[in-house]
Amino acid sequence: MGVGVAILSGGESRRFQKPGYKRKDKALEILNGKKMIEWIIDTAYKISDKVAIIVRNEKQVKKYLNIFSKNYPNLSIIPDLRKFGHSPLVGLATSTKVINDDFILILPCDAPYVREDVLKLLVDKAKGYDVISPLWPDGKVEPLISIYRRKHVLLCYPALLKLKRWRSDDMIRCSRKSYLINVENLREIDKELNSFFNINYPEEINTKKRIKLNNRIIRDDKIIYPNRASVERIENIVRAILNKNLNPNLMDDLKGSNFWLSLIALSLFKKFGKKYMELAGRSFEDEANYYIGKELKMLALHAILDSLSCWRELNHADNLSRLSKEASNLRKHINIDFKGKYGL
């Protein structure tokens, strides 16, 4: 089983910028004598001999090559896929162009304290799953310190990006089988969970925060089955979305695959009428209920937000009011910076 590592460094680091000052690439800031991203590169090479940095554009590629090619001659540096903008999901899709291993370990450029033994534990869990991701006790997942089966990414990302979906946790939602490892089970090797400390603000360069866990609900690892459809069935759905060869028959045999059912219904809406938008709204809510039953509140919240967008399109006041309250309740239980890390 091969694993390659992709470090995402294509973001704009908005929270790291100071008004009135020249924009800084926080990945290149000095932390304890090395550029921040160098700490991640060095750890990545302890996991795999195939390491890539995914950046915004060719200009950034040239800049990084000038900086890193001497000390890291085998390091691949490539720009995001064109025409899709910049997001973690785009970065993950881009990584498949240079990493040919069975699995891709995704790391952010701003987690310099990530530990080799934590990553090796994730790698050890990878076989047999589409996604392996850390899970917080309050129901958040960590999609940017996760492992993705390359075939799963190649199967799903064309349809997701075609439909202008940017969240990396959509890869969990469209998976057939994923493993979520509770971060509490990582404390034996990373007592303070420093692997998950992201540097978002300039003052954090010199100050390591202690990660606090709130709303301790989940204790166990989770194995989830978000979609029961076969790979062949999903391949047909993806082709239909890409080729705009859509018809209602595509919804057959999608019981237990609410995410894909919702995407197909959304795609059918303009041609076949509002009943398909209603179906998408209900199916996203069914998906949310599955995650709520598994105590996966972040995934549930994202599914509820998708359902809300459907009912908003239809101006359905009752469902908008009801689901808005549910989304608000989920937010209260999840410690998320909605304008930052999780991009909500």
- All structural domains of the chain, each given as residue ranges with its CATH number in brackets, are 3-223 (3.90.550.10), 251-333 (1.25.40)
Average pLDDT over residues 35-62: 95
Q: Are 3 and 102 in contact (CB under 8 A)?
A: yes
CB crowding 200-224: b at 16 or more within 10 Å, else e: bebebbeeeeeeeeeeeebeeebeb
User: Does 322 score more than 90 pLDDT?
Assistant: yes
Inform me whether the pLDDT recorded for 339 exceeds 70. no
What pLDDT sits at residue 32?
87
pLDDT of residue 343: 35
pLDDT of residue 342: 34
pLDDT of residue 173: 97
Q: How far apart are the first and last CA of the chain?
A: 34
Note the pTM of the prediction, 2 decimals.
Answer: 0.91
Residue recorded with tokens 């890869």 = 171
**pLDDT for residue 210:** 53
> Please, what is the Cα angle at 285 between 280 and 290, to 5 degrees?
125
Q: What is the pLDDT of residue 208?
A: 58
Tell me which H or E stretch contains 180: strand 178-182
Please write the tens of the pLDDT for every residue from 92-134: 999 999 999 999 999 999 999 999 999 999 999 999 999 999 9
Interhelix angle 275-293/317-333, nearest 10 degrees: 20
* 132-182 confidence digits (pLDDT tens): 999 998 889 999 999 999 999 999 999 999 999 989 999 999 999 999 999
Region 302-318: what's the mean pLDDT?
94
- Which residues touch 232 (CB under 8 Å, ≥6 apart)? none
Residue keyed to tokens 């029961």: 228
List the structure tokens of 40: 């991640």
- 302: which 2 tokens? 């994202």
Rg (CA), the chain: 20
The pLDDT score that the predictor gives to residue 337 is: 44
| CA dist., res. 306 & res. 47, Å (int) | 36
Question: What confidence score (pLDDT) does residue 336 get?
Answer: 46
pLDDT digits (tens, 9 = 90+) for 231-290: 999 999 999 999 988 999 989 889 899 999 999 999 999 889 999 999 999 999 999 999
Geometric angle at alpha carbon 224, from 330 and 93, rounded to 5°: 85
Quickly count: other Cβ atoms within 10 Å of residue 30's Cβ: 10
* Separation between Cα atoms, residue 300 and residue 130, nearest integer Å: 19
- The two tokens of residue 342 are 């999780």
What average pLDDT does the structure give for the chain?
88
